[in-house]
Chains A and B, each alone.
Chain A
Amino acid sequence: DIQMTQSPSTLSASVGDRVTITCRASQSISSWLAWYQQRPGKAPKLLIFGVSSLEPGVPSRFSGSGSGTDFTLTISSLQPDDFATYYCQQYNSYSTFGQGTKVEI
């Protein structure tokens, strides 16, 4: 099974900050990586697929990069709506999620 490890687990930031979340796969997953945002009590929402393709309707302040085993999600200027938990997901072999990164004030 492919394991996904996110860091940090929790991130404290302020509105306007540039935020970067890292996700590492236990083996190469090529570009089969997605990112989701989950607000408390809500369902996850797809942000990015294929490492860097933005889902329609997702603000352009979100971006993704990486390949192979190391990936990043960047929020260029944190907005109040962005305080949430973010999950990476590999879909190279079935589906595995990272443990999540909570972005808090």
Chain B
Amino acid sequence: EAQLLESGGGLEQPGGSLRLSCAASGFTFSTYDMSWVRQAPGQGLEWVSRISARGANTYYADSVRGRFTISRDNSKNTLYLQMNSLRADDTAVYYCAKHSGNYWYFDLWGRGTLVTVSS
């Protein structure tokens, strides 16, 4: 069964850094684009960042560009999100999500990891 499992969330102070990980299993991770999508408490979904299957191409939402970096290690079937210069409005549950083919919709989601930015 295909699965995604996020980790690395927690409480961090404004201006701090966190690195999220997403371990994939049950599908050929190296052949799919992947994204991070976040959801602030009680709010809707916001796409954050995407990376191509081999890691050559990356895309970012304006709200995180220059502060967040997406990467992947296909030998470890793992997706990452390095988050720097964290702000209070980055507080959210962060989901990793698998793209369906080359499309920008998501056919598999992880359970999410909570990031709280607060002093």
Give residues in A with beta carbon < 8 Å to B. 32, 34, 36, 42-46, 49, 55, 87, 89, 91, 94-100
B95: contacting residue among A44, A46, A55, A87, CB under 8 A: A44
B104 A97 Cβ-Cβ under 8 A: no
Q: How far apart are A44's CB and chain B's nearest CB, in angstroms?
A: 6
Is B100's beta carbon under 8 Å from chain A?
yes
> How many pairs of A and B residues are in contact by the CB < 8 Å rule?
50
Residues of B contacting A91 in the complex (Cβ-Cβ under 8 angstroms): 103-105
A55 B104 Cβ-Cβ under 8 A: no
A34: contacting residue among B37, B46, B47, B105, CB under 8 A: B105
Is B110's beta carbon under 8 Å from chain A?
yes
B104 A45 Cβ-Cβ under 8 A: no
Separation of A94 and B65 alpha carbons in the complex (Å): 14
Residues of B contacting A36 in the complex (Cβ-Cβ under 8 angstroms): 45
Residues of B contacting A97 in the complex (Cβ-Cβ under 8 angstroms): 44-47
Separation of A43 and B111 alpha carbons in the complex (Å): 5
Query: Is the interface on chain B under 10, 10 to 19, 20 to 34, or 35 or more residues?
Result: 10 to 19
Give residues in B with beta carbon < 8 Å to A. 35, 37, 44-47, 59, 61, 95, 100, 103-107, 109-112
Q: How far apart are B61's CB and chain A's nearest CB, in angstroms?
A: 8
Q: How far apart are A70's CB and chain B's nearest CB, in angstroms?
A: 19
A55 B47 Cβ-Cβ under 8 A: no
Separation of A46 and B100 alpha carbons in the complex (Å): 10
Residues of A contacting B35 in the complex (Cβ-Cβ under 8 angstroms): 95
A89 B105 Cβ-Cβ under 8 A: yes
Separation of A42 and B59 alpha carbons in the complex (Å): 26
With A43-B95, A94-B59, A94-B104 already in contact, the answer to whether A100 and B47 are too (CB < 8 A) is no
